[in-house]
C-alpha cells in the first residue's frame, strides 16, 4: 500500500495569483523577488550565504518551472526530475488556516472577521471581558503589530506590570505575548483559552500564544512554545477522512494547531526548521502502509517573511534544499512526496503581512512520472491527489491529478 508525505514551506509563494489585486498584492512574488535580490547581490549574509540563490534539489523537482508557469515568465530549458505545477487559492483569505484547510480538501468560502487597523484595535467589550475572565490587571499594545517589534516595545512594561501584550495583524487573529517565566507559560495558555472562547462569537480564526524570554529589548526572544487555538474546520478534511479509514496521520510542526487537533494521530514539534526536518524524517521512518505525514516548516514565514528579511529567507531556503535529499532517500516503492506552500509572504513587499500568491506543487516518488501538472484551480487538488494516492474515497472539493502521474 502507498504512503504520502506533504511538506509545506510556509509562505513560499511563487507569484501570479489571478486575484492578487483584490488583496493589494498584484506583483508580489516571494520566490521570484528573493531570487532577483540574491542575483543582484542583495541577499548576502556574511559567513552564511552569498551570491545567486542556490536551490539545486528543489529546482531538480521543478520549482523554477512551476514559478514560470505561475507567472508567465520564460520556462527554463532543463527537464525536471519530478512532477511540477502551481495552484491558485480559492479561499477568501490569505491566512494560514485557510491555505492548509484548502490543501486538505476544504476551501474556506466564507469571510473571517478581522480587527481594524486602529488604536485600540480590539472592541472594548472584548478587552473588558478578557481582563475580567482571565483575571488580568489590563493589557498592553492593543494594535496591529509585528511580533518581534511589539515585544521589543512593550516587553519591559509587561514584565513590570503583568499585563500581557495583545495585538493582531491583517489575518483573523488575536496574538497574546507573555514572558515564559515572569508571567508563566501555563498562565499564558490559560489566557489564550479564555480569549478563544471570547473570540468565537466574533468569527476570529485563531488565537496565538506567543511566549518569549529575555530581560530587555536587546535579548527578548520568542520561544518554540507557541500554541495556536484555531477554529476547527467546518467540514471533514483529508485528515479526518484518513483517520476514519483507519490510517495514521503524523503531523509535524504547527499542523495540529491549525486543524484544532482534529484528524491527527501523532504530533511532533520542534523549535526551528532544521529540527522540524529531523522530526519529518523520523515521521517518514515511522509511517506505515497507507499513512500520511503532513509537515509544516514555519520559519520561512515567521522568521523571515513577516520580518521582510530577504537574506534570512534565502539562507533558510538553501538550508532546506541541502536536506531535501535526505527525504528523497527515504522514499520507497509506492511513496509520494509533495512540496507546496499555504500562501505567500514576499519579504520585498510593503507591510509585514502575507501576500496573495500561487504556490508551487512539486514532487516525486518511485514509479511516478515526471512532467507538468498545470496550474491547479484550487489547493484542494493537492489533498484530493493524496486521497487518490492512498486509495480513499474522494472529497467534495478539488480534482486529483494522481492519474497523470502513472506511467503509460
Q: Over the stretch 137-155, which tens digit does the pLDDT of each residue have? A: 999 999 999 888 999 999 9
State the Cα angle at 259 between 201 and 379, rounded to 5°. 105
247-298 pLDDT, tens digit per residue, is 999 999 999 999 999 999 999 999 999 999 999 999 999 999 999 999 999 9
- Residue 407 is predicted with a pLDDT of 62
Summary mean pLDDT of the chain: 96
Asked if 198 and 127 count as a contact pair (C-beta separation under 8 A), the reply is: no
Residue % of the chain over a pLDDT of 90: 96
Average pLDDT over residues 49-65: 98
Instruction: Kindly indicate the confidence band of residue 408, based on its pLDDT and cuts at 50, 70 and 90.
Output: very low
Q: Within 10 A of 354 (CB to CB), how many other CB atoms are there?
A: 29
DSSP string, 60-87: HHTHHHHHHHHHTPPPPSS--SSEEEEE
- Residue 406 is predicted with a pLDDT of 85
Round to whole Å and give the CA distance between 214 and 222. 9
Average pLDDT over residues 49-77: 97
Task: Reduce the DSSP state of residue 288 to 3 states and report it.
Answer: coil
Q: Within 10 A of 66 (CB to CB), how many other CB atoms are there?
A: 31
Round to whole Å and give the CA distance between 254 and 174. 17
Instruction: Kindly indicate the confidence band of residue 316, based on its pLDDT and cuts at 50, 70 and 90.
Output: very high
Amino acid at each position: 500500500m502507498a504512503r504520502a508525505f506533504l511538506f509545506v514551506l510556509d509562505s513560499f509563494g511563487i507569484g501570479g495569483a489571478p486575484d492578487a489585486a483584490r488583496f493589494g498584492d498584484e506583483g508580489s512574488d516571494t520566490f521570484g523577488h528573493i531570487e532577483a535580490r540574491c542575483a543582484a547581490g542583495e541577499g548576502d549574509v556574511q559567513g552564511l550565504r552569498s551570491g545567486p540563490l542556490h536551490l539545486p534539489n528543489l529546482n531538480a523537482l521543478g520549482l523554477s518551472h512551476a514559478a514560470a508557469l505561475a507567472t508567465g515568465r520564460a520556462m527554463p530549458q532543463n527537464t525536471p526530475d519530478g512532477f511540477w505545477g502551481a495552484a491558485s487559492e480559492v479561499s477568501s483569505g490569505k491566512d494560514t488556516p485557510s491555505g492548509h484547510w484548502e490543501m486538505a480538501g476544504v476551501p474556506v468560502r466564507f469571510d473571517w472577521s478581522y480587527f481594524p487597523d486602529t488604536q485600540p484595535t480590539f472592541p472594548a467589550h472584548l478587552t473588558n471581558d478578557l481582563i475580567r475572565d482571565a483575571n488580568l490587571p489590563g493589557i498592553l499594545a492593543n494594535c496591529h503589530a509585528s511580533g518581534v517589534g511589539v515585544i521589543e516595545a512593550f516587553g519591559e512594561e509587561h514584565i513590570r506590570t503583568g499585563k500581557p501584550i495583545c495585538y493582531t495583524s491583517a489575518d483573523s487573529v488575536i496574538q497574546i505575548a507573555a514572558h515564559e517565566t515572569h508571567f508563566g507559560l501555563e498562565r499564558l495558555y490559560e489566557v489564550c483559552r479564555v480569549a478563544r472562547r471570547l473570540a468565537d462569537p466574533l468569527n476570529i480564526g485563531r488565537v496565538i500564544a506567543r511566549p518569549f524570554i529575555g530581560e530587555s529589548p536587546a535579548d527578548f526572544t520568542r520561544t518554540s512554545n507557541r500554541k495556536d487555538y484555531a477554529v476547527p474546520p467546518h467540514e471533514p478534511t483529508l485528515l479526518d477522512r484518513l483517520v476514519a479509514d483507519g490510517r495514521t496521520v503524523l503531523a509535524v510542526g504547527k499542523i495540529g494547531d491549525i486543524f484544532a487537533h482534529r484528524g491527527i494521530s501523532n504530533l511532533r514539534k520542534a523549535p526551528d526548521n532544521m529540527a522540524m526536518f529531523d522530526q519529518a524524517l523520523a515521521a517518514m521512518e515511522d509511517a506505515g502502509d497507507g499513512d500520511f505525514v503532513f509537515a509544516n516548516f514555519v520559519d520561512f514565514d515567521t522568521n523571515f517573511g513577516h520580518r521582510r528579511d530577504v537574506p534570512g529567507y534565502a539562507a533558510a531556503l538553501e538550508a532546506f534544499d541541502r536536506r531535501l535529499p535526505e527525504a528523497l532517500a527515504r522514499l520507497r516503492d509506492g511513496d509520494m512526496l509533495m512540496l507546496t506552500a499555504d500562501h505567500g509572504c514576499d519579504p520585498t513587499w510593503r507591510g509585514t503581512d502575507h501576500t496573495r500568491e500561487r504556490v508551487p506543487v512539486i514532487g516525486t516518488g518511485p514509479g511516478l512520472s515526471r512532467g507538468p501538472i498545470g496550474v491547479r484551480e484550487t489547493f484542494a487538488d493537492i489533498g484530493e491527489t493524496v486521497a487518490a494516492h492512498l486509495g480513499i474515497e474522494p472529497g467534495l472539493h478539488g480534482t486529483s491529478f494522481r492519474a497523470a502521474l502513472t506511467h503509460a
